[in-house]
Chain A
Amino acid sequence: MKPARGITPWLFLAPGLVVFGFAVLLPMVLTIGYSFTDWNGFGAMTFVGLDNYARAASDAVFRGSFVHVVLYIAATLVLEVGVGLGLAGLVSMRPGRLWFRVAIFTPVMLPLVVVAVLWAFVYNPDFGLINGALAAVGLQGLQRIWLGDTATALLAVSFVSGWVFAGFYMMIFYAAFRQVPSEVVEAARLDGAGEWALFRRVKVPMIRGATGIAVLLCVTGGFQGFDLFFVLTNGGPYGATEIPTTLLVKTVFRNGEVGYGSAMAVVLTAVVVSLGLVYARLTAGGRSSVGRSR
């Protein structure tokens, strides 16, 4: 590494910093500023101090939205990370199943909106794939209004999320499994370990780093989920799938409450960033992470 030579490094940095500063940092600071005001986006802006935060703290819908997103994240930890881990275990047992990995990974490639429109039909109570399949095998009793029932709606959305992202986590785990030294696996085999014991006691413990990253991605990504919720339920039925992001968009872009929405956004940001920092602290100097498209 070369020591500072005046302006040179800044010339290399400038284009990136300008774009990033203009499109991310400046708006972030402005959003924090908005959060202390009462403003509809175009009229007069009044400073209201911490009123918006007080309102957020006592807003049952806002608090409920955090409960929903936490439930959603809990479900996706099982349906995305858990299932992904299981699938990766299966695939690594039987290497060379390229077509299988292709099948499972395909949904990751599709725009989530496309996936959501498709699944709205799959869940359609009157001619959808699921209720139709249940009828075809004589299980009419299990038919549900999947997206219209407060008991099933959140789970139904989580399931679609699992359908999409289980393949993503499968690939992460698959790549991690491949780096487990084969001598270790062979040694365990010689000790008489079956495939299941091998998976549970040898392979999984050895990819702890990948698991940590997967959990972090799933949690921070979960807080930012929007597309699936927006198309499938948009917060309904009866607010049962209202999550911070859908509520935020409604508050700001439908009701024109920019100030209050900004306060919500700041709270959400604080939660996501602190989770990331906690993770960074836990893995002490560990590598940072990225979001995935939601």
Chain B
Amino acid sequence: MNRITRRVATIGIIAALGVGGTMGGVMAQDQTLRIAMGSPGEAGIRVWDDVKAQYEAAHPGWTVEMNYMDDDLYQTIGLQNLLAGRNAPDIYFEWTGSRLAQRYADGYAADLTAAVTTGPIAGLFDDTVFPAATIDGKVVMLPHTADVTNVLWYNKQILADNGITPPTTWAELLAACDTLNAAGIIPIASGNKDLWAAGNWLAHMASRVVGEDVYASTLGGAGKFATPEWEQAFGYIAELTTHHCVNDSANAIDDNSGAQLFFQGKAAMHAIGSWLVSWAIDEAPTLDFDYVNLPAMPDGAGNQDSVIGVETGYIVNAKSDKIDAAVDYLALLNSDANVQQFIVAEITPIAKSASAGAAVDSRAQRLLDLLAGAPAVVLPPDTGYDLKMADALYAAEAAVLGGQMSPADALAGIDAALGR
């Protein structure tokens, strides 16, 4: 016992000294670029780590600190805490829409207009990509890629084996569910424990039914959810449940486990965003799969070819004292060679050279084209609108999907939660 105490005390003293030492060290040097984002997946991490190495090689004395955070955490408390903290990131990932506007309003988004017109980044991008990243006439974010946050992925082999063609209408989708269930295969895998995975998908479906305008105004805070058109939309979620379209475990497992059901061939389809392609590189390299956009909804008021998606990119922290270095870094990130690396990782950047180079006929590129050519773009509830509203909407969708609530009760529940 005595020995333990003494040893603990000794370690404590050494550690206390060590902590003091490293803290002093960090204070003194300031040649560290800090970059924060949600996890881009293993293939993406390899590219980011390589860009970091390139930068450090080209700028002796500088180090780049990458912070890959859990997506959900990053989106909620993670980034908020980072920005307020002592080692605030110099460059950080963000979604366009209300989130970008908030960062700008809080003074965390540096003006990049000069950098993209005459500075190091000039000429790397087509001017058409900047409007979504522009506030008050200033470019405040460098777009990097765009995510289609939901399409319907399908396993080619399983559908062919069961004589199913990729569903393009609601009736076809329900029929496919019945056929697949009869064959003992999960029709659509979903990992909705954190509520956004199916939530995003079902919100897109609802937007097709209620129409983009009603969708935007209701989510934006005007009016109640408990209306006939929303009830009709939620009625379709209930139909998914009746036809047993989604795995029973949907609301119990997280999005990774949901993807795993699809990768392991236990499920025929998977409703999730464009990042699935990148994940599959490591997890299911041999799986032959493709996607269709969400099937057309009967009697929908919305555009039945709408796409749900959002442009994302990197903001330079206006409070950073290394803005020039950060801009250099972003230029390097979008160099032709690095853009090609991202394409190999199935993350297709928006930079000009992505489409200018060797023709890339990847699914990721087709998804980008789908978004670019969409007749109507629907913003995801959790990045385009208020997060509390999105939580309430997602929880209601999950309750209907899990057969826990009727559409009417679930919608009334959203209004109650939001005090509408």
Q: Which residues of A come within 8 Å of B, CB atoms?
A: 42, 61, 124-126, 145-150, 153, 233-234, 236-239, 253-255
A-B contact pairs, 30 of them (CB 8 A): A42-B106, A125-B248, A125-B249, A125-B252, A125-B253, A126-B249, A126-B261, A145-B248, A145-B252, A146-B252, A147-B252, A148-B193, A148-B252, A148-B253, A149-B252, A153-B252, A233-B193, A237-B252, A237-B402, A237-B404, A238-B395, A238-B398, A238-B402, A239-B395, A253-B76, A253-B77, A254-B76, A255-B387, A255-B388, A255-B391
A42 — which chain B residues lie within 8 A by C-beta? Answer: 84, 106
From B76, B251, B261, A237 is in contact (CB under 8 Å) with: B251
Best-buried of A124, A153, A236, A255 by chain B (most CB within 10 Å): A236
From B193, B249, B402, B417, A234 is in contact (CB under 8 Å) with: B193
Question: What's the least CB distance linking A83 to chain B, in Å?
Answer: 26
Closest 6 CB pairs of A and B: A148-B252, A125-B249, A253-B77, A254-B76, A147-B252, A145-B249
Closest chain B residue, CB of each to CB of A150: B404
Contacts A42-B84, A126-B261; A238 near B251 (Cβ below 8 A): yes
**How far is A42 from B251 in the complex, measured between Cα atoms in Å?**
34
**How far is A282 from B77 in the complex, measured between Cα atoms in Å?**
42
Whether A126 and B257, one on each chain, are in contact in the complex, defined by CB atoms closer than 8 angstroms, is yes
Majority SS of interface residues in chain A? loop
Whether B76 and A148, one on each chain, are in contact in the complex, defined by CB atoms closer than 8 angstroms, is no
Q: Interface 1/0s, chain B 4-17, versus A by CB < 8 A?
A: 00000000000000
Q: Does B34 contact A (CB under 8 A)?
A: no
**How far is A233 from B398 in the complex, measured between Cα atoms in Å?**
14
* 9 more CB-based (< 8 A) A-B contacts, given A124-B253, A126-B249, A236-B252: A125-B253, A145-B252, A147-B252, A236-B193, A236-B398, A238-B398, A239-B395, A254-B76, A255-B388
Whether B84 and A254, one on each chain, are in contact in the complex, defined by CB atoms closer than 8 angstroms, is no
B266 — which chain A residues lie within 8 A by C-beta? Answer: 126
Closest chain A residue, CB of each to CB of B78: A253
Question: What's the least CB distance linking A253 to chain B, in Å?
Answer: 4
Best-buried of B194, B261, B402 by chain A (most CB within 10 Å): B402
**How far is A61 from B417 in the complex, measured between Cα atoms in Å?**
9
Interface residues of B in 250-300 (CB under 8 A from A): 250-253, 257, 261, 266
Whether A124 and B402, one on each chain, are in contact in the complex, defined by CB atoms closer than 8 angstroms, is no
B106 — which chain A residues lie within 8 A by C-beta? Answer: 42
From A147, A237, A254, B77 is in contact (CB under 8 Å) with: A254
B343 — which chain A residues lie within 8 A by C-beta? Answer: none
B399 — which chain A residues lie within 8 A by C-beta? Answer: 238
**How far is A229 from B187 in the complex, measured between Cα atoms in Å?**
30
**How far is A147 from B191 in the complex, measured between Cα atoms in Å?**
13
Question: What's the least CB distance linking B389 to chain A, in Å?
Answer: 10
Closest chain B residue, CB of each to CB of A147: B252
Contacts A145-B249, A148-B250, A238-B404; A254 near B387 (Cβ below 8 A): yes
**How far is A147 from B251 in the complex, measured between Cα atoms in Å?**
9
**How far is A149 from B402 in the complex, measured between Cα atoms in Å?**
9
Closest chain A residue, CB of each to CB of B267: A126
Closest chain B residue, CB of each to CB of A131: B249
A148 — which chain B residues lie within 8 A by C-beta? Answer: 193, 248-253, 402
**How far is A124 from B257 in the complex, measured between Cα atoms in Å?**
9
**How far is A237 from B84 in the complex, measured between Cα atoms in Å?**
32
Question: What's the least CB distance linking B263 to chain A, in Å?
Answer: 12
A236 — which chain B residues lie within 8 A by C-beta? Answer: 193, 195, 251-252, 398
B195 — which chain A residues lie within 8 A by C-beta? Answer: 236
B387 — which chain A residues lie within 8 A by C-beta? Answer: 254-255
**How far is A145 from B247 in the complex, measured between Cα atoms in Å?**
10
Closest chain A residue, CB of each to CB of B189: A126
Question: What's the least CB distance linking B284 to chain A, in Å?
Answer: 16
Closest chain B residue, CB of each to CB of A237: B251
A153 — which chain B residues lie within 8 A by C-beta? Answer: 252
**How far is A234 from B398 in the complex, measured between Cα atoms in Å?**
14
Question: What's the least CB distance linking B405 to chain A, in Å?
Answer: 8
**How far is A43 from B156 in the complex, measured between Cα atoms in Å?**
52
A126 — which chain B residues lie within 8 A by C-beta? Answer: 249, 253, 257, 261, 266
Question: What's the least CB distance linking B248 to chain A, in Å?
Answer: 6
A61 — which chain B residues lie within 8 A by C-beta? Answer: 417
A145 — which chain B residues lie within 8 A by C-beta? Answer: 248-249, 252
